[in-house]
Amino acid sequence: GPLVNTDGEVVGINTFIFSGSGGSIGIGFAVPAARVAAVIEEIREYGHYRQASLGVELANLTPAIMERYSISGSLDGVIVARVLQGSSVYEAGLRPLDVLRELAGQPTVNLDAVQRLVYNTSVGDRLEFVAERNGETFTGEIVVKELE
């Protein structure tokens, strides 16, 4: 059912409750109303929800990863672990062991930050990036595709 604020406005759709007793008292989870509206619009326009995907596996930078692959600089960033051929990231020129430092004007401080950003993108969005390969910085643009 709906999650409402004190003014009676729908701000989310309740989806799940974590309850030790199995009853209605516990920690509730909801999908934000704006997200629900965006999904409904996708379904109306395309007949299904088109989930945005970069087609890449990323990992947080750690001191061990940086040492193993001779990466210098800050721990802020994510390392490209795997790229799917033909994906948005592949077409943008990113390859395994590249370090993504910025995406859509936002620093990629960790994997969580990147996942939140991608969650809020739509198919067709263009995301500029700053990355490093072998100590050299380069830039590019990722055109977001639909998750297959």
**Which residue in 92, 90, 80 sits closest to 132, CA to CA?**
80
Residues 6+ apart with CB under 8 A from 141: 92, 126, 127, 128, 129
The pLDDT of residue 17: 86
Question: By CB neighbour count within 10 A (0-12 exposed, 13-18 middle, 19+ buried), where does 35 fall?
Answer: middle
Strands (E), the chain: 2-4, 10-18, 27-32, 52-53, 56-60, 78-83, 99-103, 106-107, 126-133, 136-143, 145-146
Q: What pLDDT, in 10s, does the model give residues 62-104?
A: 999 999 999 988 889 999 999 999 899 999 999 999 999 999 9
The pLDDT of residue 73: 87
**Taking the complete model, does pTM exceed 0.85, yes or no?**
no
The list of the chain residues with pLDDT below 70 reads: none
